A = this chain, B = another copy of it.
Amino acid sequence: MILGFLAEGPLHGYELRRRMNRLHGYARAISDGTIYPAINRLIASGALLQTLETGRGATTRRTLHLTERGHEQLLQRLRAASGHDITDGARFFIVLAFLSLLPDDFERRAVLQRRLDFLDQPVGFFFDADRPLRAAEITDPYRQGILVTARAARRAELTWLRDQLGPTSRSVREQT
Protein backbone atom coordinates (compact mmCIF):
# COMPACT_ATOMS: atom_id res chain seq x y z
CA MET A 1 0.00 0.00 0.00
CA ILE A 2 2.83 2.39 0.83
CA LEU A 3 4.58 1.70 -2.47
CA GLY A 4 1.29 1.96 -4.34
CA PHE A 5 0.24 5.34 -3.01
CA LEU A 6 3.74 6.75 -3.50
CA ALA A 7 3.72 5.56 -7.11
CA GLU A 8 1.03 8.19 -7.70
CA GLY A 9 3.34 10.92 -6.45
CA PRO A 10 5.38 12.04 -3.41
CA LEU A 11 3.51 12.39 -0.13
CA HIS A 12 4.14 13.34 3.46
CA GLY A 13 4.06 10.46 5.90
CA TYR A 14 0.98 11.88 7.51
CA GLU A 15 -0.96 12.14 4.26
CA LEU A 16 0.16 8.63 3.28
CA ARG A 17 -1.14 7.36 6.59
CA ARG A 18 -4.51 9.03 5.98
CA ARG A 19 -4.89 7.44 2.57
CA MET A 20 -3.90 4.03 3.86
CA ASN A 21 -6.47 4.23 6.60
CA ARG A 22 -9.13 5.28 4.16
CA LEU A 23 -8.45 2.36 1.89
CA HIS A 24 -8.09 -0.23 4.59
CA GLY A 25 -9.23 1.34 7.83
CA TYR A 26 -12.94 0.67 7.33
CA ALA A 27 -12.22 -2.78 8.73
CA ARG A 28 -9.12 -2.19 10.75
CA ALA A 29 -7.27 1.04 11.39
CA ILE A 30 -3.53 0.95 10.87
CA SER A 31 -1.76 2.61 13.77
CA ASP A 32 1.18 5.01 13.73
CA GLY A 33 3.29 2.38 15.38
CA THR A 34 2.75 0.19 12.35
CA ILE A 35 3.06 2.79 9.61
CA TYR A 36 6.08 4.81 10.62
CA PRO A 37 8.36 1.83 11.27
CA ALA A 38 7.17 0.32 7.98
CA ILE A 39 8.06 3.52 6.12
CA ASN A 40 11.47 3.53 7.78
CA ARG A 41 12.10 -0.08 6.82
CA LEU A 42 11.33 0.80 3.21
CA ILE A 43 13.71 3.77 3.36
CA ALA A 44 16.41 1.52 4.83
CA SER A 45 15.87 -0.99 2.04
CA GLY A 46 16.21 1.68 -0.63
CA ALA A 47 12.63 1.58 -1.89
CA LEU A 48 11.88 5.11 -0.67
CA LEU A 49 13.75 8.37 -0.35
CA GLN A 50 12.83 11.10 2.10
CA THR A 51 13.47 14.82 1.82
CA LEU A 52 13.30 16.50 5.18
CA GLU A 53 11.60 19.86 5.33
CA THR A 54 13.56 21.75 7.94
CA GLY A 55 13.40 25.52 8.06
CA ARG A 56 9.63 25.49 8.38
CA GLY A 57 8.30 26.19 11.83
CA ALA A 58 6.42 22.93 12.06
CA THR A 59 7.69 19.66 13.44
CA THR A 60 10.14 18.21 10.98
CA ARG A 61 8.03 16.93 8.20
CA ARG A 62 9.24 14.81 5.36
CA THR A 63 8.23 14.11 1.84
CA LEU A 64 8.49 10.52 0.69
CA HIS A 65 9.44 9.59 -2.86
CA LEU A 66 9.38 6.19 -4.50
CA THR A 67 12.76 5.22 -5.95
CA GLU A 68 13.20 3.35 -9.19
CA ARG A 69 13.98 0.30 -7.13
CA GLY A 70 10.84 0.74 -5.04
CA HIS A 71 8.79 1.07 -8.20
CA GLU A 72 10.22 -2.14 -9.62
CA GLN A 73 9.52 -3.87 -6.30
CA LEU A 74 5.90 -2.72 -6.43
CA LEU A 75 5.39 -3.95 -9.99
CA GLN A 76 6.93 -7.26 -9.05
CA ARG A 77 4.54 -7.68 -6.11
CA LEU A 78 1.55 -6.84 -8.28
CA ARG A 79 2.65 -9.15 -11.08
CA ALA A 80 3.42 -12.02 -8.72
CA ALA A 81 0.35 -11.58 -6.47
CA SER A 82 -0.51 -15.04 -5.16
CA GLY A 83 -1.27 -16.88 -1.95
CA HIS A 84 -2.89 -14.64 0.63
CA ASP A 85 -2.84 -11.68 -1.74
CA ILE A 86 -5.31 -13.63 -3.85
CA THR A 87 -7.30 -15.59 -1.27
CA ASP A 88 -7.73 -12.91 1.38
CA GLY A 89 -10.41 -10.51 0.19
CA ALA A 90 -9.05 -7.47 2.00
CA ARG A 91 -5.55 -8.06 0.66
CA PHE A 92 -6.82 -8.65 -2.84
CA PHE A 93 -8.58 -5.29 -2.70
CA ILE A 94 -5.23 -3.64 -2.01
CA VAL A 95 -3.76 -5.38 -5.03
CA LEU A 96 -6.74 -4.24 -7.11
CA ALA A 97 -6.37 -0.66 -5.95
CA PHE A 98 -2.97 -0.43 -7.61
CA LEU A 99 -3.27 -2.98 -10.39
CA SER A 100 -3.52 -0.22 -13.03
CA LEU A 101 0.13 0.55 -12.34
CA LEU A 102 1.07 -2.71 -14.07
CA PRO A 103 1.61 -1.66 -17.68
CA ASP A 104 1.10 -5.07 -19.23
CA ASP A 105 -2.56 -5.90 -19.78
CA PHE A 106 -1.79 -9.59 -20.06
CA GLU A 107 -0.23 -9.56 -16.59
CA ARG A 108 -3.14 -7.64 -15.13
CA ARG A 109 -5.62 -10.15 -16.55
CA ALA A 110 -3.56 -13.01 -15.13
CA VAL A 111 -3.98 -11.55 -11.63
CA LEU A 112 -7.76 -11.27 -12.07
CA GLN A 113 -7.84 -14.79 -13.46
CA ARG A 114 -6.11 -16.16 -10.36
CA ARG A 115 -8.73 -14.52 -8.16
CA LEU A 116 -11.46 -15.91 -10.38
CA ASP A 117 -10.00 -19.41 -10.19
CA PHE A 118 -9.95 -19.13 -6.42
CA LEU A 119 -13.52 -17.84 -6.16
CA ASP A 120 -14.74 -20.48 -8.56
CA GLN A 121 -14.29 -23.10 -5.89
CA PRO A 122 -17.47 -23.32 -3.82
CA VAL A 123 -17.28 -21.88 -0.32
CA GLY A 124 -17.69 -24.22 2.63
CA PHE A 125 -17.29 -23.21 6.24
CA PHE A 126 -19.03 -26.01 8.10
CA PHE A 127 -18.80 -29.72 7.66
CA ASP A 128 -20.40 -32.95 8.75
CA ALA A 129 -17.42 -35.26 8.93
CA ASP A 130 -15.85 -34.26 5.63
CA ARG A 131 -18.91 -33.28 3.65
CA PRO A 132 -19.43 -29.53 3.31
CA LEU A 133 -22.89 -28.55 4.52
CA ARG A 134 -25.20 -26.65 2.24
CA ALA A 135 -26.91 -23.55 3.60
CA ALA A 136 -30.23 -25.38 3.81
CA GLU A 137 -28.70 -28.10 5.99
CA ILE A 138 -27.41 -25.69 8.57
CA THR A 139 -29.85 -25.16 11.38
CA ASP A 140 -27.92 -22.47 13.22
CA PRO A 141 -29.32 -19.19 11.89
CA TYR A 142 -26.10 -17.25 12.34
CA ARG A 143 -24.06 -19.84 10.48
CA GLN A 144 -26.66 -19.72 7.77
CA GLY A 145 -26.06 -15.98 7.68
CA ILE A 146 -22.35 -16.52 7.18
CA LEU A 147 -23.00 -18.75 4.18
CA VAL A 148 -25.68 -16.56 2.68
CA THR A 149 -23.67 -13.35 2.85
CA ALA A 150 -20.41 -15.00 1.81
CA ARG A 151 -22.10 -16.47 -1.23
CA ALA A 152 -23.70 -13.20 -2.23
CA ALA A 153 -20.34 -11.46 -1.96
CA ARG A 154 -18.69 -14.20 -3.97
CA ARG A 155 -21.31 -14.05 -6.71
CA ALA A 156 -21.03 -10.28 -7.02
CA GLU A 157 -17.28 -10.44 -7.33
CA LEU A 158 -17.44 -13.31 -9.82
CA THR A 159 -19.82 -11.30 -11.97
CA TRP A 160 -17.47 -8.34 -11.96
CA LEU A 161 -14.42 -10.49 -12.65
CA ARG A 162 -16.07 -12.32 -15.55
CA ASP A 163 -17.18 -9.02 -16.97
CA GLN A 164 -13.65 -7.65 -16.70
CA LEU A 165 -12.04 -10.70 -18.20
CA GLY A 166 -14.55 -10.25 -20.92
CA PRO A 167 -16.57 -12.61 -23.04
CA THR A 168 -14.71 -15.80 -23.86
CA SER A 169 -13.40 -16.13 -27.38
CA ARG A 170 -16.35 -18.38 -28.20
CA SER A 171 -19.01 -16.00 -26.92
CA VAL A 172 -17.31 -13.14 -28.75
CA ARG A 173 -17.87 -15.02 -31.96
CA GLU A 174 -21.45 -15.71 -30.96
CA GLN A 175 -22.08 -12.07 -30.11
CA THR A 176 -20.88 -10.89 -33.52
Q: Which of A's residues lie within 8 Å of B, judged by CB?
A: 19, 22-23, 26-28, 84, 87-90, 93, 96-97, 99-100, 123-127, 140-143, 145-146, 148-150, 152-153, 156-157, 160-161, 164
Complex-state Cα separation, A153 to B149, whole angstroms: 7
Q: Taking chain A's interface residues, is the majority helix, strand, or loop, or is none over half, making it mixed?
A: helix
Complex-state Cα separation, A124 to B18, whole angstroms: 13
Apart from A28-B88, A96-B146: 13 A-B pairs, beta carbons within 8 A: A22-B124, A23-B126, A89-B89, A89-B90, A90-B90, A93-B125, A96-B145, A145-B160, A145-B161, A152-B152, A153-B153, A153-B157, A156-B156
Give chain B residues whose Cβ lies under 8 Å from the Cβ of A140. 100
Tell me which of A127, A149, A160, A161 has the highest count of chain B C-beta atoms within 10 A of its own C-beta: A149
Asked if residues B160 and A127 are in contact (CB atoms below 8 Å), the reply is no
With both beta carbons as reference points, the residue of chain B lying nearest to A95 in the complex is identified as B142
Asked if residues B143 and A152 are in contact (CB atoms below 8 Å), the reply is no
Complex-state Cα separation, A125 to B4, whole angstroms: 14
Asked if residues A26 and B87 are in contact (CB atoms below 8 Å), the reply is yes
Asked if residues B157 and A99 are in contact (CB atoms below 8 Å), the reply is no
Give chain B residues whose Cβ lies under 8 Å from the Cβ of A124. 22, 26
Give chain B residues whose Cβ lies under 8 Å from the Cβ of A126. 22-23
Give chain B residues whose Cβ lies under 8 Å from the Cβ of A87. 26-28
The distance from the CB of A139 to the nearest CB of chain B, in whole angstroms, is: 9
Complex-state Cα separation, A140 to B100, whole angstroms: 7
